[in-house]
Structure 1
């Protein structure tokens, strides 16, 4: 074998290294093939490297997203007009509270999903369970880039850009995907030994660091998602096309309509007086006893007593104003709606001290205002002056009578009194004259009321007896109130069993008089008088349970509104709702927070995109059919196999052998038979190395690649441009792996290898 001499124009090697190594000739193999290019194996390796990490992650991610969006419920699917007032929640107070909410609930934004929360969190956690096992598959793609770099630099024969054995150890550890241990070893080597990392070690290090970071971050977000996803109880809303008759309107149409002419009616037997008559009061009796009656007395009585009927009376307060209005007994939490109905509100204030100033002890008369005078002994009504006297039986003494009454005025000061209406022929011949105070339509309506012996002497409270607005004497107590009644049509929104909005609109004066007018007719007939007498007595008795006169005034006002509505129910009929939505209550659903969900999706997509990007890069830029063989050797097992395929300690000029190898490749393309070499054709010199690279004077061992006769690449150590066997680093790798039992049945043999 000819020596490799200094100044070789073809190789550029500076000096012969054989004298330095003291090598002896061995059999000289002929390198006549180019490295094998098996495209199928390379593509299969890349496809496997992509499929193993990406398919499980994509399947889990798609399944999770599918289940969430398939079973997702709209947070609010009903009408905006029926939006509950408590839907908007207040922000958390303080940073600690906000952090706690972020940790446990994942923030304010969330999907409402009608699906088992445990199933969703379990599916999401599948990725975290398999990700730690996917790193090696991803690093197998990175190995294509590392292999490509080593092949390119080995072809150039430049020792300085190839890794030394120790850094090759780090590279193989990083490509093995062992994660934190390999990263730690690389950092210690860089900073403790102060040795610059040779490519491709830094690039592989950063790739593994990024993958390891994702491997830690994705399970952490998975855990957060599992904590923040929890069951809650909500009401599910759905719009309906049917309409319920939960509203109330004036009964103007239909066969049995009671108010065909509106709230005022003039039709009756021999009606000859043009005056207001409320359609809530029936004027059609065949006898004087039943000439006047309440329309629909059954429902009226049931409402007054608070007993079940199709209509019920509800109370809604706006500040200090209490509205009594018609609602339907079938209302509940299962149906939200908007409906309209009439409503009455009454406010009263005590005026007993004002009335006491005009008291006449001889006539038992109280002159409260110019239009409001009460004669406690006269029968009702006193036709000469429109004074009202609530004593029904003049023979009763003041101490024996239990009295209460009402009288209307034209203004809030009760300065004028309505006139009297007289009809001598009302109801037909033989009924005699009938007189009643004129009903003047007004909204608001003004009136005064009084009561005697409400409460009785034995039941009066200590607080009430000392109230200056209560007139207390040795024979009994009496009090006087100045009141105002307002009538409106209300439109209210009923949501989740409560009123969410309440809008009022004043009705016409005639509509208002429909509710207040019946109280002016207290003495028309004996039958109707009993109804009003019982009503007024009940109101006074309830109010008398109060402790102060202000409380008594408020209670009387509320009870008056209730009874005015009850007596007028016959004039109204059900009305369809404006809007409706069905409410399914107390449905257990899953709250899926958007923050953890979208962060989890984003991280997994980054993971998948990064792997696919590596695969595309490996296929497009690393010549995978050539580097796949090298990639397989970038592991402990691959390195050991490379050594046992060439057990002799070999050395040759790396640059010259590589150049001659590619010269033969060029000649092969020129139709030369690679097997017909002649004796004149130069052959690469190969000889046994008696000295290891680390023993070379001034030489630094590097690990590169060399083509072999079988057409593949083999790892060879280089020093000063000379190839050497990789037995030293292989031995270290193989023995360590064998001791750990990672080489299967061969572990025992290799562990004893010396």
Structure 2
């Protein structure tokens, strides 16, 4: 039997007649519908607008609570789990250089960026976990609309019962509502186009709420139901995507040094005096060598020479700057590259001042022949200097100050005379400043001690113009004299990441000074080459005499420490910490915390929507909510009444599938109907037909055979065509045909429902 659209089952069975509905005043409860205030007004509809409910009961659909809880789980649970996982990875694998990170006396100079976390975890994997949160929001829109559809269904039912015509949707508006409730974002585009239609009907609040709720599934604008406004962040879902992109762009992989304290130091990078050398303060330097029977030897000469030439595998002398002065300190040559440590060693500081003018250094020439000189070639040239009674001579012939000592013979005097030099180099040691008390005039060596040095070298253009530079006549070399002082210290220092990281100095006794002086007196040849090389290098590298003096001072400290390195032995480190170089993820805090907050807001929204759905009488509105779908419309217009089949079946009645007869094919009332489509005038029409049973086919064939055998039929004209048997729409017909249903849905709804 054809079923007209006006005869479709109503969404809820009622017993009242249309006359009763028209006669009594309508009470529209604004608290149950979006955007409606409570009002009571009688209304008499025109005859054309009056309609009455059908008496056929609608098929009830159950499972509202399960549907709500399932939607809540799909919205909030994945977001909470992923957020907790993301935060757990960040804080479990976080590394830091903050206070207390090392747990040792070594204070790391590294300071972490306070605006970022450093995570010892793959940046690719970490960002993948964070991106899952934005992925969840893209799949959760249908579940958000499932929760929103319950208050919409309740409001729709309430307005339908009250016959509030101005608040009920038109057929096309119903199509838009169903598309939005289905969670398809294509319906938003259809709705936006509809908003610009000319002469369209006024949009009811139901359509506005449906469209904005779907927009809220991506942008979470707001949902207004039950007379109250539930405000949320307008752009939370889109914001999650934007913040996740922000996090992707700003997260990077960097090199990071992870610090771990060492409870018990195990390396010996410190240096202390050999116990056998303590107390040796005589200028003869008994700890280094001996002077019995005129035999001199240097037991630590090999180690000293290797250290001096930077070839030792045990010791090395390094420069540093501490408390406004340049130092050279002795340390281990085979230090572990990933170990930070604190140790004690020996250091030396030297300061030099140019005194060429003070010593009256000048270039002179004279004729050495009694009969006179006929040309400049015969003239003798010299560069005499006179710094005082204990320091005078000439740079041209390398002569120093001859003085007598009651302790040392001339060969042991603290003077460089008699040492051949091509550039007039000399080095003379003193116990006191101002060139007083040369070494050898007293039995011990003080700390600090003093010395004077000079030579002729080639100079840079800038250095040659310095007032302390004295040109050697027409030659290209220039003469310089420097007054210096040196002091030994015990240095308590820290080495962080392979670099000097500060320390403290304490002056020591004269033991090291005495032995250092011994090497310069007896083994000047070992140091003379180094210092002459320093003069040559400094002359071409320096721009003024002050730079030249600083260069020579540092080289003297390094040379002197190298010569006494054999007097020291290794000592344990005071503190240690290991340094592990890692590739870590730099995670900015700003996008990290914003993403966490937005994720929690999204999860909270699911809980709020679930509470609203539970408050909208879900058991009562479930049947309407389930039918606000394409499946509900198809079931309403193409399916027969399935109430009897549902009663006989043991299947669950919890979804829209329960509104279709095929769902109950396991009962006695099986449905084998098919839907065909026919291209008629107007819209495309769909029809449901029922196939004939074998008994009906057999009976029909028998009737046709009897009809062909009838004499009356044989007398008819042979040209008369036999009209095919028509399928009647009565309940007794062999093929039951439903009324064609015009369906105006477009491809966008089909793809997004």
- Once residues 6 and 74 of structure 1 are traced to their aligned partners in structure 2, the CA distance between those partners, rounded to angstroms, is 74
- Trace 1:189-200 onto structure 2 (pairs within 5 A): 189=195, 197-200=203-206
- Trace 1:116-135 onto structure 2 (pairs within 5 A): 116-129=122-135, 131-135=137-141
- Once residues 241 and 462 of structure 2 are traced to their aligned partners in structure 1, the CA distance between those partners, rounded to angstroms, is 71
Which residue in 1 is equivalent to 2:304? 300
- The answer on whether the counterparts of 1:322 and 1:346 sit within 8 Å (CA) in structure 2 is yes
- Once residues 557 and 640 of structure 1 are traced to their aligned partners in structure 2, the CA distance between those partners, rounded to angstroms, is 100
Which residue in 2 is equivalent to 1:329? 333
Which residue in 1 is equivalent to 2:355? 351
- The answer on whether the counterparts of 2:271 and 2:569 sit within 8 Å (CA) in structure 1 is yes
Per the TM alignment, residue 640 of structure 1 is displaced from its structure 2 partner at its CA by 4.1
- Once residues 2 and 65 of structure 1 are traced to their aligned partners in structure 2, the CA distance between those partners, rounded to angstroms, is 61
- Once residues 562 and 50 of structure 2 are traced to their aligned partners in structure 1, the CA distance between those partners, rounded to angstroms, is 125
Which residue in 2 is equivalent to 1:143? 149
Deviation per CA, 1:373-409: give whole Å up to 9, x if none: 559768965238999684666xx9x999966231314
Which residue in 1 is equivalent to 2:611? 616
Q: Which among 632, 641, 663 is matched to residue 638 of structure 1?
A: 632
Which residue in 2 is equivalent to 1:516? 513
Bigger RCO (CA 8 Å, 6+ sep): 1
Structure 1 residue 535 and structure 2 residue 527: aligned?
A: yes
**Unaligned residue ranges in structure 2 (runs of 5+):** 1-15, 28-40, 220-235, 369-381, 642-737
Per the TM alignment, residue 304 of structure 1 is displaced from its structure 2 partner at its CA by 2.1
- The answer on whether the counterparts of 1:115 and 1:590 sit within 8 Å (CA) in structure 2 is yes
Which residue in 1 is equivalent to 2:578? 582
Instruction: Say which SS state the counterpart of residue 66 (structure 2) adopts.
Output: helix
Instruction: Say which SS state the counterpart of residue 331 (structure 1) adopts.
Output: coil
- Once residues 357 and 19 of structure 1 are traced to their aligned partners in structure 2, the CA distance between those partners, rounded to angstroms, is 131
| Pair 245,406 (structure 1): closer, same or farther in 2 beyond 3 Å | farther
- The answer on whether the counterparts of 1:299 and 1:309 sit within 8 Å (CA) in structure 2 is no
Structure 1 residue 72 and structure 2 residue 94: aligned?
A: yes
Name the TM-score, length of structure 1 as normaliser.
0.64
- The answer on whether the counterparts of 1:110 and 1:594 sit within 8 Å (CA) in structure 2 is yes
**Unaligned residue ranges in structure 1 (runs of 5+):** 90-107, 266-275, 421-434, 523-527, 648-726, 745-754
- Trace 1:249-648 onto structure 2 (pairs within 5 A): 249-251=271-273, 257-260=275-278, 264-265=279-280, 276-277=281-282, 281-282=286-287, 285=290, 287-290=292-295, 296-317=300-321, 321-356=325-360, 367-369=386-388, 372-373=391-392, 381-383=403-405, 390=415, 404-411=426-433, 413-414=434-435, 416-417=436-437, 436-439=441-444, 441-443=446-448, 445-451=449-455, 469-470=469-470, 472=472, 479-499=480-500, 501-508=501-508, 511=509, 513-518=510-515, 520-521=517-518, 529-545=521-537, 546-547=539-540, 550=545, 552-585=548-581, 587-619=582-614, 621-643=615-637
- Once residues 582 and 69 of structure 1 are traced to their aligned partners in structure 2, the CA distance between those partners, rounded to angstroms, is 22
Structure 1 residue 185 and structure 2 residue 191: aligned?
A: yes
Per the TM alignment, residue 351 of structure 1 is displaced from its structure 2 partner at its CA by 1.9
| Pair 56,399 (structure 1): closer, same or farther in 2 beyond 3 Å | closer
Per the TM alignment, residue 49 of structure 1 is displaced from its structure 2 partner at its CA by 2.0
Q: Which among 157, 172, 175 is matched to residue 178 of structure 2?
A: 172
Structure 1 residue 43 and structure 2 residue 35: aligned?
A: no
Which residue in 2 is equivalent to 1:239? 261
- The answer on whether the counterparts of 1:221 and 1:599 sit within 8 Å (CA) in structure 2 is yes
Structure 1 residue 226 and structure 2 residue 248: aligned?
A: yes
| Pair 740,46 (structure 1): closer, same or farther in 2 beyond 3 Å | closer
Per the TM alignment, residue 146 of structure 1 is displaced from its structure 2 partner at its CA by 1.0
Instruction: Say which SS state the counterpart of residue 353 (structure 1) adopts.
Output: coil
- Once residues 232 and 85 of structure 1 are traced to their aligned partners in structure 2, the CA distance between those partners, rounded to angstroms, is 18
Which residue in 1 is equivalent to 2:118? 112
- Once residues 549 and 421 of structure 2 are traced to their aligned partners in structure 1, the CA distance between those partners, rounded to angstroms, is 24
- Once residues 241 and 638 of structure 2 are traced to their aligned partners in structure 1, the CA distance between those partners, rounded to angstroms, is 42
- The answer on whether the counterparts of 1:367 and 1:374 sit within 8 Å (CA) in structure 2 is yes
- The answer on whether the counterparts of 2:350 and 2:485 sit within 8 Å (CA) in structure 1 is yes
Per the TM alignment, residue 189 of structure 1 is displaced from its structure 2 partner at its CA by 3.2
Per the TM alignment, residue 80 of structure 1 is displaced from its structure 2 partner at its CA by 8.4
- The answer on whether the counterparts of 2:237 and 2:602 sit within 8 Å (CA) in structure 1 is no
Per the TM alignment, residue 562 of structure 1 is displaced from its structure 2 partner at its CA by 1.7
Deviation per CA, 1:296-340: give whole Å up to 9, x if none: 333222222322131110011359842110111122431112223
Q: Which among 211, 218, 230 is matched to residue 212 of structure 1?
A: 218
- Once residues 743 and 403 of structure 1 are traced to their aligned partners in structure 2, the CA distance between those partners, rounded to angstroms, is 96
- Once residues 594 and 298 of structure 1 are traced to their aligned partners in structure 2, the CA distance between those partners, rounded to angstroms, is 58
Name the TM-score, length of structure 2 as normaliser.
0.65
- The answer on whether the counterparts of 2:444 and 2:514 sit within 8 Å (CA) in structure 1 is yes
Structure 1 residue 152 and structure 2 residue 144: aligned?
A: no
- Once residues 594 and 407 of structure 2 are traced to their aligned partners in structure 1, the CA distance between those partners, rounded to angstroms, is 86
- The answer on whether the counterparts of 1:4 and 1:17 sit within 8 Å (CA) in structure 2 is no
Per the TM alignment, residue 212 of structure 1 is displaced from its structure 2 partner at its CA by 1.9
- Once residues 359 and 554 of structure 2 are traced to their aligned partners in structure 1, the CA distance between those partners, rounded to angstroms, is 23
- The answer on whether the counterparts of 2:304 and 2:563 sit within 8 Å (CA) in structure 1 is yes
Per the TM alignment, residue 148 of structure 1 is displaced from its structure 2 partner at its CA by 1.5
- The answer on whether the counterparts of 1:237 and 1:584 sit within 8 Å (CA) in structure 2 is yes
- Once residues 357 and 512 of structure 2 are traced to their aligned partners in structure 1, the CA distance between those partners, rounded to angstroms, is 29
- Once residues 642 and 29 of structure 1 are traced to their aligned partners in structure 2, the CA distance between those partners, rounded to angstroms, is 13
- The answer on whether the counterparts of 1:72 and 1:111 sit within 8 Å (CA) in structure 2 is yes
Instruction: Say which SS state the counterpart of residue 358 (structure 2) adopts.
Output: helix
- Once residues 326 and 43 of structure 2 are traced to their aligned partners in structure 1, the CA distance between those partners, rounded to angstroms, is 112
| Pair 156,258 (structure 1): closer, same or farther in 2 beyond 3 Å | same
- Once residues 9 and 599 of structure 1 are traced to their aligned partners in structure 2, the CA distance between those partners, rounded to angstroms, is 55
Instruction: Say which SS state the counterpart of residue 149 (structure 2) adopts.
Output: helix
- Once residues 30 and 349 of structure 1 are traced to their aligned partners in structure 2, the CA distance between those partners, rounded to angstroms, is 118
- The answer on whether the counterparts of 2:184 and 2:749 sit within 8 Å (CA) in structure 1 is no
- The answer on whether the counterparts of 2:95 and 2:118 sit within 8 Å (CA) in structure 1 is yes
| Pair 530,192 (structure 1): closer, same or farther in 2 beyond 3 Å | farther
Instruction: Say which SS state the counterpart of residue 417 (structure 1) adopts.
Output: strand
- Once residues 459 and 745 of structure 2 are traced to their aligned partners in structure 1, the CA distance between those partners, rounded to angstroms, is 103
- Once residues 209 and 391 of structure 2 are traced to their aligned partners in structure 1, the CA distance between those partners, rounded to angstroms, is 103
Per the TM alignment, residue 731 of structure 1 is displaced from its structure 2 partner at its CA by 5.6
- Once residues 7 and 480 of structure 1 are traced to their aligned partners in structure 2, the CA distance between those partners, rounded to angstroms, is 123
Deviation per CA, 1:572-613: give whole Å up to 9, x if none: 33232233211223x333333333333333323222221222
- The answer on whether the counterparts of 2:427 and 2:454 sit within 8 Å (CA) in structure 1 is yes
| Pair 507,460 (structure 1): closer, same or farther in 2 beyond 3 Å | closer
Cα root mean square deviation, aligned? 4.9
Instruction: Say which SS state the counterpart of residue 736 (structure 1) adopts.
Output: coil
Instruction: Say which SS state the counterpart of residue 406 (structure 1) adopts.
Output: strand
Per the TM alignment, residue 532 of structure 1 is displaced from its structure 2 partner at its CA by 3.0
Per the TM alignment, residue 485 of structure 1 is displaced from its structure 2 partner at its CA by 1.5
Deviation per CA, 1:324-372: give whole Å up to 9, x if none: 1011112243111222322111121222332237999999985413554
Which residue in 2 is equivalent to 1:426? none
- The answer on whether the counterparts of 1:36 and 1:626 sit within 8 Å (CA) in structure 2 is no
- Once residues 454 and 45 of structure 2 are traced to their aligned partners in structure 1, the CA distance between those partners, rounded to angstroms, is 132
